[in-house]
Chains A and B, each alone.
Chain A
Amino acid sequence: MDRRSLFKAGIGASAIAAGGGFSAPALSQGAAARTLRFVPQANLANFDPIWGTQYVVRNAAAAVWDTLYGVDDKLEPQMQMVEADQVSADGLVWEFRLRPGLRFHDNTPVLAKDVVASIARWAPRDPMGQMLAAIQNDLVAVDDRSFRWSLKRPFPKMRFALGKNSTPMCFIMPERIAATNAFQQISEYVGSGPMRFVKDEWVPGAKAVFQKFDGYVSRQEPTSWLAGAKNILVDRVEWVVMPDPATASSALQNGEIDWWENPLPDLVPVLRRNRNLMVDIADPLGNIGSFRMNHLHAPFNDVRVRRAVMMAMSQEDYMRALVGDDTNLWKALPSFFTPGTASYTEVGGDILKGPRNLDGAKRLLAEAGYANQPVTCIVAQDQSITKAMGDVTADLLKRMGMNVDFVATDWGTTGQRRAMKNPPGQGGWSMFHTWHAGADCVNPAAYNALRGTGENAWFGWPTSTGVEAGIAEWYEAPSPAAEKAAMDKVNTAAMNDVVYAPTGFFLSYTSWRRNVTGIQKGPLPFFWGVSKT
């Protein structure tokens, strides 16, 4: 026994003697091995994946509710709850058949009427769902395991819409729950997926517990993201919410947790030095940083001013401020789409390539007649991503000679203020910062931020007929080559009109203890196939 062990033993014995009657630890070693303790990216504050579309809710919901289709790691939708489908020759009628043996967590069978109700609740909240609802003739349950969807126009992206991983996903719930208005929250959490949500143990802001559901009938194909087998290899997954990254880092090193979804890049070197830990890229689809300019009001209602900003901005500055000097974590992005995916395009992205042109930007500003109007730049300080990007933008605009009204605030206030269409001096804004999950930006399907529908578009309200024409073309595209051609047009138009300013592509890490295996890289944490020894 060495000196330290002796000292520890002494202290331990004293503590036990002093405490008297100490009880056993809550978990025995066997139980601990069957419980996976996971630190999520954020607090699970609600658990309705249709009503609340935050990523953290989607991530938890994916374990509890199953989907009709699921995208694999190639972003191809594969059948999941669906056993077979058939589309008519004219593309107007889709018929689906469910797999046998599917059960909800209350042990009632999953029926076609449940699916119909679930789709009806999901559709109003999802861009693709809204498109489907707009061209729908009817959606009916044919029998217990079959349903039919009749459309007025063909919709080739049907499987992708029902299996995509962007929020809101089309989760299947019992009919009585799915009957809830899509803008009101459910209070009963009866899932159809491989894990059961333990509502009684839910402490919002602190803990959420998921238990293996023995009645789940898994597919037999190999696991790949949301597709294939979803075998749960632990009894329980405990989500432990830790608001402080330093605490999460210490807890992971100390073995108090098993998996930390997204460590800060600053703490990664510490984690890498610990031989009990693994560190790897969490999601190869990463994120796209952005700031949005208000197209309704001066000065950014003039495309020349928006182009001047694009011409001068350095994505490297943004990315280094965001993730530091780890060049594995970021890349410049002369595109609005996720790099490394099949349809990725840089066509039209020249304005973001090459040396930055501050003088040219100043000339363009002068040409646009910029008259020193204040630029109300809203920056949420409680989000490290927006804070870092906001500081870089403020510096950029000042170097361009613009009059910056820097509004340091929190994310809650940003969420409210960005919805205001008033001029900047009357409670409105000129620009705000945000970011988009790369999984949402692989194509135009779930990409609200790219739409150019003016007053109906996302905050900033850009108008771009070129973008809209390209998106329409993408939806109709009969082949991957045609899809790629359509995305070239979308990217070019979005760059020309500066729908928003992409600040770069960045990745994040995830870290887990070596005794945990089976973690997949993907856009969300997948708990199937993960085991702990």
Chain B
Amino acid sequence: MWAYVIRRVLATIPVMAVVALFVFSLLYLAPGDPAAIIAGDQATPQDVERIRASLGLDRPYLVRFGAWVWDIAHGDLGTSIFTNLPVSRMIEQRIEPTLSLMVVTLILAISIAVPMGVVAAWKQGTIIDRAVMGFAVLGFSVPVFVVGYLLAYIFALELDWLPVQGYTPFERGIGPWFQNLILPAIALGGVYIALIARITRATMLEVLSQDYIRTARAKGAGQVSILFLHALKNAAVPIVTVIGIGIALLIGGAVVTESVFAIPGLGRLTVDAILRRDYPVIQGVVLLFSFVYVLVNLVIDLAYTLFDPRIRY
């Protein structure tokens, strides 16, 4: 298996190279001018041109791309055009809030969605099943920002239980850290819960109709044991796959969630950088996201072996 892991990790290099080329080219072709934004609304065209030259934005495509790739090969993601700070430092400043939000959302979503899906499958056709599926449709349909505003209004403004916005670093204590993440995680987790619950239900329904489940029942196994030991374990592979795919969904949703709850994470960094055309930051963050996504896929592939002993690498 280790050979497989090493092969997969090495395979990320060409993937990242393609992503790098694609992102750089796309940004090069996209309209917009950071120099005009920096210079401000009162600047003359001559000022804008001088700033553009000072930033090296007047250099040819190949020269700029070559310089960027050279820097990356030396572990340097570059320097933000606007802040004059290293991109790596800006990512470092922002990674903890995003990671925290995603981890809490993931735990919350899995711990709610999987039991929901299992129960819905068990009680197929009953009001419980319909309620779960109704919730799933709602989770898919209502945008994250609407859920976010509603939660903030009810739990922060009206009830005053939780803060409206912000992020408290983990080092300042788990309580303040968690307090700031509850509402964003619920808002972001809605779609994710819906997705996992639906897949869990569908897969469980298929598994519950298998012969070995009937055999387990005939042997006198309890309902909980049948559902969670015999059925769920065998339904796990598609569920884990969806959880993995859903991480991309989380990354996209984090952009909106971080804006609504003013969390200083990577999602907001990305949006700000795109709006300002801060090319080194956009390139750095997209590379990071694609790397994370490749790694998540690897972890998911490895996780299959835990649930299905027939899978070997």
Where the two chains meet, the residues of A that have a C-beta atom closer than 8 Å to any C-beta of B are 4, 8, 11-12, 15-16, 19, 21-26, 43, 45-46, 48, 51-55, 125, 166-167, 181, 183-187, 203-207, 240-244, 246-248, 250-251, 253-254, 256, 382, 409-413, 415-419, 434, 436, 440, 446, 448-449, 456, 458-459
Stretch at the interface among B42-50, B62-70, B127-135: B42-50
Where the two chains meet, the residues of B that have a C-beta atom closer than 8 Å to any C-beta of A are 31-34, 36-48, 50-51, 53-54, 80, 82-85, 90, 93-94, 149, 152-153, 156-157, 159-161, 163-166, 168, 172-176, 178, 259-262, 264, 268-269, 271-272, 275-278
Contact across chains for B159 and A8 when beta carbons are under 8 A apart = yes
Contact across chains for B45 and A203 when beta carbons are under 8 A apart = no
From B41, B90, B161, residue with most partner A Cβ within 10 Å: B41
Contact across chains for A52 and B36 when beta carbons are under 8 A apart = no
B47 to chain A: which residues have CB within 8 Å? Answer: 125, 183
Closest 7 CB pairs of A and B: A23-B173, A22-B175, A415-B36, A206-B264, A416-B33, A53-B40, A412-B32
Contact across chains for A22 and B38 when beta carbons are under 8 A apart = no
Contact across chains for A243 and B262 when beta carbons are under 8 A apart = yes
Contact across chains for A167 and B161 when beta carbons are under 8 A apart = no
A409 to chain B: which residues have CB within 8 Å? Answer: 31
A48 to chain B: which residues have CB within 8 Å? Answer: 84
A419 to chain B: which residues have CB within 8 Å? Answer: 33, 36, 45, 48
Query: Given A413-B32, A416-B33, are A167 and B262 also a contact pair (CB < 8 Å)?
Result: no
A46 to chain B: which residues have CB within 8 Å? Answer: 38, 82-84
| Chain A interface, DSSP helix/strand/loop, else mixed | loop
Contact of B32 among A26, A251, A415, A446 (CB under 8 A): A415
Contact across chains for B173 and A24 when beta carbons are under 8 A apart = yes
B31 to chain A: which residues have CB within 8 Å? Answer: 409, 412-413, 416-417
A15 to chain B: which residues have CB within 8 Å? Answer: 175
Q: A254-B160, A415-B33, A416-B32 are in contact. List 5 more A-B contacts (CB 8 A).
A: A22-B175, A53-B39, A203-B264, A251-B262, A434-B41
B161 to chain A: which residues have CB within 8 Å? Answer: 8, 11-12
Contact across chains for A54 and B40 when beta carbons are under 8 A apart = yes
Contact across chains for A247 and B172 when beta carbons are under 8 A apart = no
A241 to chain B: which residues have CB within 8 Å? Answer: 262
Which residue of B has the minimal Cβ distance to A440?
B42
Contact across chains for B275 and A203 when beta carbons are under 8 A apart = no
Nearest-neighbour CB distance to chain A for B147, whole angstroms, equals 13
Contact across chains for B272 and A254 when beta carbons are under 8 A apart = no
**Cα(A98)–Cα(B42), bound, Å:** 30
Nearest-neighbour CB distance to chain B for A410, whole angstroms, equals 7
A–B Cβ pairs within 8 angstroms, 27 of them: A4-B159, A8-B161, A16-B175, A19-B175, A51-B51, A166-B42, A183-B50, A184-B54, A203-B93, A203-B264, A243-B262, A244-B259, A248-B262, A250-B164, A256-B165, A412-B32, A412-B34, A412-B37, A412-B275, A413-B31, A415-B33, A416-B31, A416-B33, A417-B31, A419-B48, A436-B41, A458-B44
**Cα(A173)–Cα(B208), bound, Å:** 74
Which residue of A has the minimal Cβ distance to B42?
A448
Nearest-neighbour CB distance to chain B for A502, whole angstroms, equals 15
Query: Given A43-B272, A256-B165, A448-B44, are A205 and B39 also a contact pair (CB < 8 Å)?
Result: no
Nearest-neighbour CB distance to chain A for B46, whole angstroms, equals 8
Contact of B43 among A53, A247, A248 (CB under 8 A): A53
Query: Given A244-B262, A253-B157, are A181 and B54 also a contact pair (CB < 8 Å)?
Result: yes
Nearest-neighbour CB distance to chain B for A6, whole angstroms, equals 13
**Cα(A3)–Cα(B34), bound, Å:** 55
**Cα(A256)–Cα(B160), bound, Å:** 11
A456 to chain B: which residues have CB within 8 Å? Answer: 44, 46
Contact of A167 among B40, B80, B175 (CB under 8 A): B40
A55 to chain B: which residues have CB within 8 Å? Answer: 40
Contact of B165 among A22, A24, A186, A250 (CB under 8 A): A250
B85 to chain A: which residues have CB within 8 Å? Answer: 204
Contact across chains for A449 and B42 when beta carbons are under 8 A apart = yes
Contact across chains for A26 and B176 when beta carbons are under 8 A apart = yes
A413 to chain B: which residues have CB within 8 Å? Answer: 31-33
**Cα(A16)–Cα(B176), bound, Å:** 11
Contact of B277 among A251, A412, A440, A449 (CB under 8 A): A412
**Cα(A416)–Cα(B51), bound, Å:** 13
Query: Given A51-B38, A415-B36, are A247 and B276 also a contact pair (CB < 8 Å)?
Result: no
Nearest-neighbour CB distance to chain B for A442, whole angstroms, equals 14
Contact across chains for A411 and B176 when beta carbons are under 8 A apart = no
Contact across chains for B80 and A250 when beta carbons are under 8 A apart = no
B32 to chain A: which residues have CB within 8 Å? Answer: 410, 412-413, 415-416
B168 to chain A: which residues have CB within 8 Å? Answer: 26
**Cα(A231)–Cα(B261), bound, Å:** 34
A52 to chain B: which residues have CB within 8 Å? Answer: 38-40, 82
Contact across chains for B174 and A22 when beta carbons are under 8 A apart = yes
Contact across chains for A240 and B164 when beta carbons are under 8 A apart = no
**Cα(A415)–Cα(B52), bound, Å:** 12
Which residue of B has the minimal Cβ distance to A243?
B259
A248 to chain B: which residues have CB within 8 Å? Answer: 262
Query: Given A21-B174, A206-B268, are A247 and B42 also a contact pair (CB < 8 Å)?
Result: no
Contact across chains for B175 and A416 when beta carbons are under 8 A apart = no
From A4, A24, A51, A415, residue with most partner B Cβ within 10 Å: A415
B259 to chain A: which residues have CB within 8 Å? Answer: 243-244, 247
A205 to chain B: which residues have CB within 8 Å? Answer: 264, 268-269, 272
From B50, B175, B260, residue with most partner A Cβ within 10 Å: B175
Which residue of A has the minimal Cβ distance to B152?
A250
